[in-house]
């Protein structure tokens, strides 16, 4: 079945994990484009600050304090969206938690709680959204990671959860396509992004975590999400470096693992002492509602690879135009 999605300016978009990082960047960008947004997170204070930013941008929306690990909460989110706006058109499963540490050091309680958010949060969100989408059509967008395709030391349980999200997303897509449901199912796989993710992570290491470069802005992911909300896309990697790592792991998995072993134990550790409190694993973190983290190095605002992957025709035309301009310049130089 051909899935027809609405323009962003005509949409109601539900976003979990909307109080910071990629979720907040997506909410603000969608609102600036005319969409109305339903912001979902656990912390009421951060949600209110996030909604204030949406309104500063001229947007409209509502907040729902809810835990994605609770299936009843996700049903309540869907009901609130219908009560407020009559429907919803896109549902973004963006809530996530992270843990840094060796697998044998992390408590079983922490591992299970991470899966409650990262994996079961996607399952509960999808189950709440699908009855609406089966009736009216829509886009279900799950936020995975480059770690949906590769694994990385010190983020083993996070990698496992994102592998699970990828498998669930792919199976759900096939089952919906087989039944002819008018639903687009997308997996978005960001690389290293400058968000409060690293500050909010539970940390078992002796130093504070930091993203390995290159690092991209959360708005790069938000643009990809909104493209997938308006046009069916199966999956997309955000960041050329992330795509290269995934490709390398597929071509030479043993070599890829050896490189990870030699580089990633130190590349994920900053020079700062660890922060042992204030993470978001078992409850909401700080209520500041920030899109950006505090990464001290350069942050890439856009991913040329992702833009090319999402808009291949436009990219090909641009490349052709550049080629014609270069050829014209060469001819002009030869005639002097």
Residue pLDDT, tens place only, 7-49 = 999 999 999 999 999 999 999 999 999 999 999 999 999 999 9
Residue 307, domain member (yes or no): no
Specify the length of the chain in residues: 336
Instruction: For residues 65 and 44, state if they share a domain.
Output: yes
Lookup: tokens for 271: 């020079």
The phi, psi pair for 296, rounded to 5°, reads -80, -15
* Same domain flag for 265 and 241: yes
pLDDT range class, residue 2, cuts 50, 70, 90? confident
Mean of the pLDDT values across residues 242-262? Answer: 97
162-200: pLDDT as tens digits: 999 999 999 999 999 999 999 999 999 999 999 999 999
> Can you say whether the dihedral through the CA atoms of 133, 223, 169, 156 is positive or negative?
negative
For 202-234, b where at least 16 C-beta lie within 10 A, e where not — what string? bbbbeebbbbbebbbbbbbbbbbbbbbbbeebe
**Would you state the pLDDT for residue 285?**
83
**Domain match, 55 and 196 both:** yes
Q: Is 139 helix (H, G, I), strand (E, B) or coil?
A: strand
- Residues assigned a catalytic role: 158
pLDDT of residue 1: 65
pLDDT in tens, 65-89: 999 999 999 999 999 999 999 999 9
**What distance in Å separates the CA atoms of residue 105 and residue 204, rounded to the nearest whole number?**
8
1 falls within a domain: no
pLDDT score for 326:
36
Q: Residue 174's domain is classified under what CATH number?
A: 3.40.50.720
Question: What's the pLDDT at 271?
Answer: 93
The span from the CA of 34 to the CA of 54, in Å, is 11
* 224 lies in the same domain as 324: no
* Same domain? 296 vs 317: no
At 101-151, the pLDDT tens digits run 999 999 999 999 999 999 999 999 999 999 999 999 999 999 999 999 999
Claim to verify: residue 293 and residue 321 sit in the same structural domain: no
Farthest CA pair distance, the chain? 75
In a domain? residue 293: yes
**Number of C-beta neighbours around residue 117 at 10 A:** 23
Same domain, 253 and 223: yes
Q: Do 278 and 182 sit in the same domain of this protein?
A: yes
Residue 321 has pLDDT above 60, yes or no: no
What are the tens digits of pLDDT across the range 208-219? Answer: 999 999 999 999
SS3 content of the chain, % helix, strand, coil (to 5): 50, 15, 35
Q: Is residue 3 part of a domain?
A: no
Q: How much is the pLDDT for 313?
A: 67
Closest to 257 in 3D by CA, of 269, 265, 193: 265
Q: With bands split at pLDDT 50, 70 and 90, how would you rate the model's confidence at 332?
A: very low
pLDDT at 287: 77
Asked if pLDDT for residue 319 goes beyond 80, the answer is: no
Q: Would 154 be classed as within a structural domain?
A: yes
Do 99 and 29 reside in the same domain of the chain?
Answer: yes
Cα 213 versus chain centre, distance: 18
246, part of any domain:
yes
Together in a domain, 280 and 319: no
DSSP strand pairing (90-93 vs 215-216): unpaired
How high is the pLDDT of residue 323? 43
Q: What is the mean pLDDT of residues 228-250?
A: 97
Structure tokens at 52: 């204030």
Same domain, 140 and 170: yes
- Nearest one of 313, 290, 315 to 302, comparing CA atoms: 315
**Lookup result for tokens 């429907």:** 87
In this predicted model, what pLDDT tens digit does every residue of 261-318 receive, in sequence order? 999 999 999 999 998 777 999 999 877 899 999 999 999 999 999 999 999 865 554 4
Please, are residues 248 and 30 in contact by the beta-carbon 8 Å criterion? no
How many domains does the structure of the chain reveal?
2
Confidence class for position 330, pLDDT limits 50, 70, 90: very low
Instruction: Please report whether residue 259 resides in a domain.
Output: yes
Is residue 170 located within the same domain as residue 317?
A: no
**Any domain includes 220:** yes
Residue spans of alpha helices (H) in the chain = 21-32, 44-56, 71-85, 108-118, 120-136, 156-179, 197-200, 218-230, 240-251, 253-267, 304-310, 312-334
Q: Residue 322 sits in which domain range?
A: 312-336
């Amino acid at each position: 079945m051909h899935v027809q999605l609405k323009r962003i300016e005509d949409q109601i978009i539900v976003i979990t994990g909307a109080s910071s990082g990629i979720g907040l960047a997506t909410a603000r960008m969608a609102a600036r484009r005319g969409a109305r947004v339903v912001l979902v997170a656990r912390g009421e204070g951060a949600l209110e600050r996030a909604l204030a930013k949406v309104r500063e941008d001229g947007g409209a929306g509502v907040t729902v304090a809810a835990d994605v690990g609770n299936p009843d909460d996700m049903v309540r989110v869907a009901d609130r969206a219908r009560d407020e706006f009559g429907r919803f058109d896109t549902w973004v499963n963006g809530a996530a938690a992270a843990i840094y540490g060796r697998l044998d050091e992390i408590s079983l309680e922490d591992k299970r709680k991470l899966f409650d958010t990262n994996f079961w949060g996607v399952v509960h969100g999808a189950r709440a959204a699908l009855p609406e989408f089966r009736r009216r059509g829509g886009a279900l967008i799950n936020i995975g990671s480059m770690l949906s395709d590769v694994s990385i030391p010190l983020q083993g349980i996070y990698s496992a959860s994102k592998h699970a999200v990828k498998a669930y997303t792919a199976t759900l897509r096939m089952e919906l396509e087989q039944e002819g449901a008018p639903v687009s199912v997308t997996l978005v796989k960001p690389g290293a992004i400058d968000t409060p993710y690293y500050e909010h992570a539970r940390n078992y290491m002796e130093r504070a975590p930091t993203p390995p470069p290159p690092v991209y802005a959360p708005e790069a992911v938000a643009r990809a999400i909104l493209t997938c909300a308006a046009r069916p896309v199966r999956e997309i990697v955000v960041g050329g470096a992330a795509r290269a790592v995934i490709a390398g792991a597929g071509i030479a998995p043993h070599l890829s693992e050896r490189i990870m072993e030699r580089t990633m134990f130190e590349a994920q550790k900053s020079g700062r002492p660890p922060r042992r409190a204030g993470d978001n694993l078992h409850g909401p973190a700080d209520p500041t509602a920030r899109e950006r983290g505090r990464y001290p190095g350069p942050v890439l605002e856009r991913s040329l690879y992702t833009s090319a992957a999402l808009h291949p025709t436009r990219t090909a035309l641009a490349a052709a135009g550049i080629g014609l301009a270069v050829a014209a310049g060469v001819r002009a130089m030869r005639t002097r």
